Homo-oligomer: A and B are copies of this chain.
Amino acid sequence: MQKKSTEKQFPAVSVDLVLLTVKDDKLQVALAAREPSFKKGQDALIGGTVDVDQDDDLEGTVARILKDRGGLSDIFVEQLYSFGGKARDPRGWSVAVAYYGLIPVTTLDTTAKHFSYYSVDDLPPLPFDHAEIVKSAVERVRGKGGYSTIPARLLDKEFTLSQMRDIYAAVLGTDIEQNSFRRKVIQLGIVTSTKRKGFFGRGDRPSEIFTLTPGVVNFDRSL
């Protein structure tokens, strides 16, 4: 669509990722020091501009950024919202397509070394409208968390129901009754037993190890 200099001007388009994990039983966001000259060095959302030559689509931009900035691939991400206007960046009209991603803390510990982590309830000052973007992401995850398997993306592939419950409690910020949780995730087929037992939990008694049942993402009943 871009042709001559008489052509219409388009806004700058970037992708920003709210990368979330659960660390110390709290929902935390991974931030990275900015690399562009503007506000260089300040902790901000992991992001970058769309590259129309390299990227096939917006998801491609997200994947490229995750690879470049953190050496990460195959991360669960979902589009959040697009923020666009002339005021959000002093350099001019811009559009940020925001995504959020969920990643087990074990994956972050073994790969991405360059991130800083902050509890989502206690953020440092962030540039542009990044604070608002984080807030939206947390709202979305907390909102959908009660009736979807999205928070389970913060777990390793194999997990115990105690671990799963802890993750849900951390994401939702509430206590969850043990038996209700068990009944539900088992009855609705959300998890599948591996028939093996292990000590992944924190207890003395070994617990059954589960995996997510493929394909189950939403459930009607609430937690």
Contact = CB atoms under 8 A, between A and B. Distances in A.
Contacts of A58: 82-85, 95
A112 interface: no
Contacts of A86: 52, 55-57
Interface residues of A, number: 35
A42 to B, nearest CB: 18
Given A2-B12, A55-B86, A58-B95, 18 more contacts: A1-B11, A1-B93, A1-B94, A2-B9, A10-B11, A10-B12, A10-B49, A10-B52, A11-B13, A11-B50, A11-B52, A13-B95, A50-B93, A52-B93, A56-B86, A58-B82, A95-B95, A95-B97
A92 B8 CA distance: 14
B8 A49 contact: yes
Interface string A81-114: 1111111010111110100000000000000000
A37 interface: no
A11 B81 CA distance: 18
B8 A1 contact: no
Interface of A: 1-2, 5, 8-13, 49-52, 55-58, 60, 79, 81-87, 89, 91-95, 97, 220, 222
Contacts of A1: 11-12, 89, 91-94
Nearest to A81: B79
A51 B85 CA distance: 10
A220 B9 CA distance: 45
Given A2-B9, A5-B5, A8-B49, A57 B79 contact: no
A150 to B, nearest CB: 14
Contacts of A89: 1
A15 to B, nearest CB: 9
Contact of A57 (B9, B60, B84): B84
Contacts of A97: 82, 84, 95
A8 B82 CA distance: 21
Contact of A13 (B13, B56, B91, B222): B13
